[in-house]
Structure 1
Amino acid sequence: MNVKTIASAAFAATMLASVVAKADVEFKPLEQDPETIVFGIISTESTSNLKAQWQPLIDDMEEALGKDVEAFFAPDYAGIIEGMRFGKVHVGWFGNKSAMEAVDRAGGEVFVQTSKSDGSNGYYSHIITQADNDKVKTLEDMLKCDGSLNFGIGDPNSTSGFLVPSYYVFAKNGVDPKECFKTVRNANHETNLMATANKQVDVAANNSEQLGRTKMNKPEITDKVKVIWTSPLIPSDPMVYRKDLSRELKSEIKAFFLGYGRFGDVESAKEVLANNSDGMGLFMESSNAQLYPIRQLALFKDKLKIQNTEELSAEEKAERVAEIDKKLAELDILVAYQ
C-alpha cells in the first residue's frame, strides 16, 4: 500500500467516525478465535426455509475451514445483530440496514456481498397488494390515507422491508404510516407476502428476492399479488464478520466465500447458490463502503422527519437539519474516495 493510499484510507476512516453516531453500548470483544464459528442468518422468512437454503453452504464452509460452523437463527434481525455484539455470532448474512447496525454497534465488518446468478448486483423493494384489488392500483391509491387499509411493513432493521419504503414511500410524501393506515404490523418478507396473498393485509412492503423465490417454488402465491411500487436499485446483501477475529481466520473466511463456485467443486457450489434466495450468484469482494448509500438514505429520512414535525421550533429544526447536512456532506466525500 503506497503513502497516498494509506493517507486516503486514514482520511476516510476519520470521516466515517464523525458520521457514525456513537453506540449506546460497546460490543463485547472476543478474547480469541472461537472453536466453533457461529453463522447468523437474518429472519427474512421461516427458519425451516432459511436452513434449507443456507445449510449446504455452511457444511461446505465447515469442510473448507476445518472448523465447526453452526447456523444461528433468531425471530428478528435484532437477534442476529445482538448475537454478533455479544460475540455469540461471528459471521453472517445481513441486509444493508442490519449490516450498518452490526458495523456500528456489534463490531462487524463487511467483507463480501452477494450477487445474482446473471452476475448483476442489487435488488428492489416493492409495495404489493392483491392482484384483484381494484381499489388500490397505484401508490397514490394507497396514500389516500383514509384509515381503511391494513399495512404490513418489514422488520425495523430490514433495508427493503422498512428503511427504503420508509424514506421513498412515506417520508418523501410526508406520510406517517401509523396515521395513514387502519393497522401497521411488522413481519418478515415471507409472512408479509403470504398475508397479502391471503388478504390478511391490504398492502405490504416486500422485495424482488422474496417474490422471485416464491415464484420459483409456489407460483400460485405470487399469482395472487401485484406490485404497485418499485424502489431504486438496492446494493446486494453484504456478508459481515466480527472485525476482531484474527487476521488469519478472517482471511480464511473471506477466501472461502470468494472461492466458492470459482474453485474446487464448482458445479456443486453453483447449485447450492442457485437454490438460495431467488437464485444467488458468486460472492463479490466488498467493504463497509457499500453501506454509504444506506447511511445517506437513513440520514435523508431523519432530515425529512425533522422538517415535517410540528413539535420543534424553527430554530431547533434548523440546528438539527444542519447537523444532518454536515454528516451528509461528509458522506459525499467518502463516496468520492471509493
Structure 2
Amino acid sequence: MPQRRNLRDGCRLAALSVAWCVLLWMLIGQSAWAGEPEAPAKPLTFGVLPMGGPSESLESWRPMLDDMGHALQRPIRSVSVSTYEGLAQALAEQRIDYAFVSGRLALQAVTQDHMQVIAQLTRGDGTLGYYSVLIVEKNSTIHTLDDIFDKPGHWRYARGESLSVSGYLVPETQLFAARKLDSDTFFASVMVDNHQNNALAVVNGEVDLATNNTADMERFAKHFPDQYARLRTVWKSSLIPHAVIIVRTDLAPQLRQRIAQFLTGYAKGRNAAAELAKLQLIHDISGFHAAGNDVLTSFADIDYTLEQRRALSAQWVNNDAMKARLQKIEAAHEQLIRQLKNNQPITLARHNDEP
C-alpha cells in the first residue's frame, strides 16, 4: 500500500509540473505577443473624380470614407486631382486602389490599368443617368443647332477635357462626328476647362457656347444662382449612364468583395438616414448598386465612333489601307464589347498601324 500511494503521489507531482510548465509557457507567449502588436492594416487609397475643385471633392467624400474605413478596419486615404488626365495617370501608376470615375475613364482603367467595375451610383430622383448639354448666354443669338453649324469658324467654344464624357466625348460623337466635323477645328477658338469654369465663361462673355451636363448644372445653380439664371440650354444629348466605382483586380478577392458589399449596403441599413445625409454631401447620391464591366459598353461605342472618324479623315496611301484599318477597328470593338458584356479581363492590344 505505501508503495502504491507513493506512486500515485509521484504521478500527481508530475502532472502538476506539466501543468505549471504549460501555464508558464502561455504566460510567456502572451507577454511576448503583447510586446509585439499586430501590424496595422495597409491603408487603401480612394481616387475621386473631379467635381467642382479637388478640395471640394475630398471634403464631400470624407464622411462616407470614414465609415468605410471603420467597416473595413483599415485607414482610407483619398486622392483628388483637378483634371481627368491627372486621375488617369494616378490609376496608371497604381497609386489608387479604388476610385469613383466617369464611364470613359473607367473604360480606360479597365482596359489598360487592371481595374474592374464593382458598383454604380444611384441618384435620389431615381434617374439612370444624366445628359450632356450645350449652353449659351440667355440673350445669345444662338437658338438652334443650325445657328451654330451655319457659321463655321465664327463662334468661340468651351469644352471639357478629352476624357470628359459630357464635356467632350458625347457632344463630339453626337453633334460633330455625325456631321463629319471636328470641334477643335470648326470653331474660331476652343477653350478647355472644367464644367464650372466653362459655364462662368459663357456668363462673362468669354465664349459663345460651352458643353456641360445636367448634374453639374444643378450644382452650378446652387453655388451661382444669379449666373445660372443667365444661361440657356440649346441642346441635350441622349442618356449617359451614371459614374461607377472601380477597384484594382490585384487586391485580395475577399477585400474587393467587402468593398463592394459596403458600397451596395450603404444608406440601406439601420443607419440609413444618417448615411444618406453623408451621401447627399457628394451631390444627390442616394447610394450604389452592384455593377460590372458591362455597364461600360456605351462608352466603348463612343470610342468606336471617334476611331472611325479619325480613320476616315486620315491620309492613307490607298483605299485598301484605309479599309484594313477600319476592319481592325471593327474587330477590336466587337471583341471589347464581348469581353465587357461577359465581365472578362480585357486583353486588347493597342493599334500600331496608324497612318
For the residue of structure 2 that corresponds to 1:282, the secondary structure is: strand
Please point out which of 306, 310, 314 is paired with 1:305.
310
Cα shift at 1:113: 0.4
Q: Is the 8 A contact 1:127 1:206 kept in 2?
A: yes
| 1:51 corresponds to | 58
| 1:79 corresponds to | 86
Q: TM-score, normalised by structure 1?
A: 0.84
| Paired residues for 1:148-297 under 5 Å | 148-277=154-283, 279-297=284-302
Cα shift at 1:260: 0.7
Cα shift at 1:303: 0.9
Q: TM-score, normalised by structure 2?
A: 0.80
- 1:326 pairs with 2:304: no
Cα shift at 1:217: 3.5
| 1:65 corresponds to | 72
Paired residues in the alignment total 304
Cα shift at 1:336: 7.2
| 1:14 corresponds to | none
Q: Which residue identity is paired with 1:108?
A: M
Q: Is the 8 A contact 2:60 2:281 kept in 1?
A: yes
Q: Is the 8 A contact 1:46 1:190 kept in 2?
A: no
| 1:133 corresponds to | 140
Q: Is the 8 A contact 1:45 1:191 kept in 2?
A: no
Cα shift at 1:41: 0.9
Structure 1 pair 268/316, CA: closer, same or farther in 2 (3 Å)? same
| 1:144 corresponds to | 150
C-alpha distance in 1 between matches for 2:166 and 2:318? 33
C-alpha distance in 2 between matches for 1:197 and 1:97? 28
For the residue of structure 1 that corresponds to 2:285, the secondary structure is: coil
Q: Which residue identity is paired with 1:50?
A: S
- 1:94 pairs with 2:92: no
Cα shift at 1:332: 5.9
Identity over aligned residues, as a percent? 24
Task: Give the number of the structure whose alpha-carbon radius of gyration is greater.
Answer: 2
Structure 1 pair 98/153, CA: closer, same or farther in 2 (3 Å)? same
For the residue of structure 2 that corresponds to 1:118, the secondary structure is: coil
Structure 1 pair 335/66, CA: closer, same or farther in 2 (3 Å)? closer
Cα shift at 1:282: 1.7
For the residue of structure 2 that corresponds to 1:115, the secondary structure is: strand
Cα shift at 1:149: 1.6
Residues 236-268 of structure 1 deviation map (CA, whole Å, 9 limit, x = unaligned): 101111111111211111111011101241101
Structure with bigger RCO (C-alpha 8 Å, 6+ apart): 1
Gapped regions of structure 1 (runs ≥ 5): 1-32
For the residue of structure 2 that corresponds to 1:228, the secondary structure is: strand
For the residue of structure 2 that corresponds to 1:137, the secondary structure is: coil
Residues 14-66 of structure 1 deviation map (CA, whole Å, 9 limit, x = unaligned): xxxxxxxxxxxxxxxxxxx9711111112232123222322222222222222
C-alpha distance in 1 between matches for 2:341 and 2:247? 25
